[in-house]
Amino acid sequence: MANCAIHLTLLVRALLCAAALLCSGPTEVRAEGPSPGPAASPSFPIVSDARLAGDAKQTRFVLDLDKAIQFRAFTLADPYRVVLDIPQVNFQFPAGTGVAGRGLVKAFRYGLVMPGGSRIVFDLTGPARIAKSYVLEAANGQPPRLVLELEEVDRTGFVQSLAAESRPELRPAIADATDTVVAATAATAAPKAVAPKPKPSEPDARPVVVIDPGHGGVDNGTQSSGESEKDLVLGFGLALRDRIEKGGKYRVVMTRDDDTFIPLADRVKIARNQSAALFVSIHADALPRGEGDAQGATIYTLSDRASDAEAERLAEAENKADAIGGVNLTEEPTEVADILIDLARRETRTFSNRFARLLMGEMKTTARMHKHPLKSAGFKVLKAPDVPSVLVELGYVSNKGDLEHLVSENWRTRTVGSMAQAIDAFFAKRVAKAGTAN
Contacts of 337 (CB under 8 A, 6+ apart): none
Cα–Cα dist 61/86, whole Å: 15
Out of 171, 230, 283, 349, the only residue in the binding site for Zn ion (CB under 5 A) is 283
Q: Which one of the spans 211-219, 241-249, 254-262, 337-345 is the region binding Zn ion (CB under 5 A)? A: 211-219
Q: Which one of the spans 213-221, 274-282, 325-333, 399-407 is the region binding Zn ion (CB under 5 A)? A: 213-221
Q: Which one of the spans 25-33, 70-78, 100-108, 281-289 is the region binding Zn ion (CB under 5 A)? A: 281-289
Pairing of strands 58-65, 145-152: antiparallel
SS3 106: strand
Q: Is 120 exposed, middle or buried (0-12, 13-18, 19+ CB in 10 A)?
A: buried
Least Å from the CB of residue 214 to Zn ion: 4
Q: Does 214 bind Zn ion (CB under 5 A)?
A: yes
Pairing of strands 72-76, 81-87: antiparallel
Residue 224's alpha-carbon distances to 102, 318, 325, 338, in angstroms, are 24, 16, 19, 42
Least Å from the CB of residue 224 to Zn ion: 13
Least Å from the CB of residue 286 to Zn ion: 9
Pairing of strands 81-87, 117-124: antiparallel
- The region, left, alpha or beta by phi > 0 then psi within -120 to 50, assigned to residue 78 is left
Nearer to Zn ion, 258 or 318 (CB): 318
Cα–Cα dist 321/319, whole Å: 5
Least Å from the CB of residue 206 to Zn ion: 28
Least Å from the CB of residue 221 to Zn ion: 5
Total Cβ atoms within 10 A of residue 419: 26
Pairing of strands 223-224, 227-228: antiparallel
Least Å from the CB of residue 394 to Zn ion: 10
Q: Which one of the spans 174-182, 220-228, 290-298, 412-420 is the region binding Zn ion (CB under 5 A)? A: 220-228
Span 308-347, contacts to Zn ion by CB under 5 A: 318
Nearer to Zn ion, 196 or 288 (CB): 288
Q: Which one of the spans 57-65, 234-242, 249-257, 280-288 is the region binding Zn ion (CB under 5 A)? A: 280-288
Q: Does 213 bind Zn ion (CB under 5 A)?
A: no
Least Å from the CB of residue 279 to Zn ion: 15
Nearer to Zn ion, 221 or 388 (CB): 221
Cα–Cα dist 90/48, whole Å: 8
Q: Does 380 bind Zn ion (CB under 5 A)?
A: no
Q: Does 221 bind Zn ion (CB under 5 A)?
A: yes
Nearer to Zn ion, 146 or 287 (CB): 287
Q: Does 117 bind Zn ion (CB under 5 A)?
A: no
Tell me the site size for Zn ion, rule CB under 5 A: 4
Contact at 8 Å (CB) between 330 and 158? no
Query: Residue number with the shortest CB distance to Zn ion?
Result: 283
Nearer to Zn ion, 88 or 298 (CB): 298
Residue 342's alpha-carbon distances to 80, 268, 438, in angstroms, are 34, 17, 22
Can you give the binding site for Zn ion, defined by CB under 5 A?
214, 221, 283, 318
